[in-house]
Amino acid sequence: MDESGFKLNIAIVGLGLIGASYAMALKDLAPKCIYGVDKNKETLKKALDMGIIDEAYKNGDVFLKDVDLIIIALYPQDTVGFIKDNLHNFKEGVLITDTSGVKESVVDKINSILPDDMEFIGGHPMAGKEAGGIKLASKEIFKGANYIITPTGKNNKCNIDIIEKMAKSIGFKNVIYINPEEHDRIISFTSQLPHVIAVSLIDACIEENDIGLYTGGSFRDATRVAVINPMLWSELFTMNSEKLISEIERFEESISKLKDAIKCRDVDKLDHIFKQVSLKRKELI
Amino acid sequence: MDESGFKLNIAIVGLGLIGASYAMALKDLAPKCIYGVDKNKETLKKALDMGIIDEAYKNGDVFLKDVDLIIIALYPQDTVGFIKDNLHNFKEGVLITDTSGVKESVVDKINSILPDDMEFIGGHPMAGKEAGGIKLASKEIFKGANYIITPTGKNNKCNIDIIEKMAKSIGFKNVIYINPEEHDRIISFTSQLPHVIAVSLIDACIEENDIGLYTGGSFRDATRVAVINPMLWSELFTMNSEKLISEIERFEESISKLKDAIKCRDVDKLDHIFKQVSLKRKELI
Q: What pLDDT, in 10s, does the model give residues A250-284?
A: 999 999 999 999 999 999 999 999 999 999 999 98
B140 and B27 in one domain?
Answer: yes
At residue B161's C-alpha, the angle toward residues B159 and B165, to 5°, is 120
B274 and B198 in one domain?
Answer: yes
Residue A151 lies in domain: 9-178
Q: Supply the DSSP string of A174-187, one letter for each residue.
A: EEEE--HHHHHHHH
Q: Among A48, A118, A17, A280, which residue's Cα sits nearest to residue B206?
A: A280
B122-146: b or e for each residue (b if 16 or more CB lie within 10 Å)? bbbbbbbbbeeebeebebebbeebb
Kindly determine whether residue A198 and residue B218, on different chains, have CB atoms separated by under 8 Å: yes
Kindly determine whether residue B281 and residue A206, on different chains, have CB atoms separated by under 8 Å: no
- Provide ipTM, 2 decimals: 0.90
Q: How many CB pairs under 8 A join A and B?
A: 301
Write down the pLDDT at residue A2. 44
The whole-number average pLDDT for the span A117-125 is: 97
Kindly determine whether residue A221 and residue B216, on different chains, have CB atoms separated by under 8 Å: no
The whole-number average pLDDT for the span B59-75 is: 97
**Nearest CA distance, B30 vs chain A (angstrom):** 28
Write down the pLDDT at residue B207. 75
- Residue B3 falls inside a structural domain: no
Classify burial at A169, counting beta carbons within 10 Å of its beta carbon; exposed 0-12, middle 13-18, buried 19 or more.
middle
Nearest to A174 among B201, B213, B259 (CB): B213
Query: Is B151's pLDDT higher than 70?
Result: yes
B28 and B45 in one domain?
Answer: yes
Cβ-based contacts of A228 with chain B (< 8 Å): 274, 277-278
- Residue A2 falls inside a structural domain: no
Write down the pLDDT at residue A207. 75
Cβ-based contacts of A226 with chain B (< 8 Å): 277-278, 280-281
B46 and B135 in one domain?
Answer: yes
- Residue A280 falls inside a structural domain: yes
CATH code for the domain of B71:
3.40.50.720
- Residue B116 falls inside a structural domain: yes
Picking from B178, B205, B221, the residue at the C-terminal end of a domain is B178
Cβ-based contacts of A277 with chain B (< 8 Å): 199, 202-203, 226, 228
A135 and A30 in one domain?
Answer: yes
How many domains does one find in chain A? 2
A230 and A121 in one domain?
Answer: no
The whole-number average pLDDT for the span B191-212 is: 91
- Residue A1 falls inside a structural domain: no
B216 and B124 in one domain?
Answer: no
Write down the pLDDT at residue A5. 61
Cβ-based contacts of B253 with chain A (< 8 Å): 204
- Cα–Cα distance for residue pair A249/A247, rounded to 1 Å: 5
A102 and A25 in one domain?
Answer: yes
- Residue B172 falls inside a structural domain: yes
Write down the pLDDT at residue B78. 97
Write down the pLDDT at residue B2. 44
B202 and B96 in one domain?
Answer: no
The whole-number average pLDDT for the span B223-251 is: 96
- Cα dihedral value A83, A89, A91, A92, nearest 10: 80
Query: Is B208's pLDDT higher than 90?
Result: no
Amino acid at B155: N
Amino acid at B216: G
B102 and B193 in one domain?
Answer: no
Residue with the bigger pLDDT between A214 and A3: it is A214
B162 and B51 in one domain?
Answer: yes
B209 and B166 in one domain?
Answer: no
Nearest to A259 among B221, B248, B273 (CB): B248
CATH code for the domain of B243:
1.10.3660.10
Indicate the DSSP class of residue A61.
-
Query: Is B109's pLDDT higher than 90?
Result: yes
- Residue A246 falls inside a structural domain: yes
Picking from A130, A147, A178, the residue at the C-terminal end of a domain is A178
Q: Supply the DSSP string of chain B, one letter for each residue.
A: --TTS--SEEEEE--SHHHHHHHHHHHTT--SEEEEE-S-HHHHHHHHHHTS-SEEESS--GGGGG-SEEEE-S-HHHHHHHHHHHTTTSPTT-EEEE--S--HHHHHHHHHHS-TTSEEEEEEE----SS-SGGG--GGGGTT-EEEEE--TT--HHHHHHHHHHHHHTT-SEEEE--HHHHHHHHIIIIIHHHHHHHHHHHT----TTGGGG--HHHHHHHGGGS--HHHHHHHHHHTHHHHHHHHHHHHHHHHHHHHHHHTT-HHHHHHHHHHHHHHHHHH-
- Residue B26 falls inside a structural domain: yes
Cβ-based contacts of A179 with chain B (< 8 Å): none
Average pLDDT over chain B, rounded to an integer:
95
Picking from B178, B207, B242, the residue at the C-terminal end of a domain is B178
Sign of CA dihedral A78, A84, A88, A90: positive
Nearest to B174 among A205, A213, A276 (CB): A213
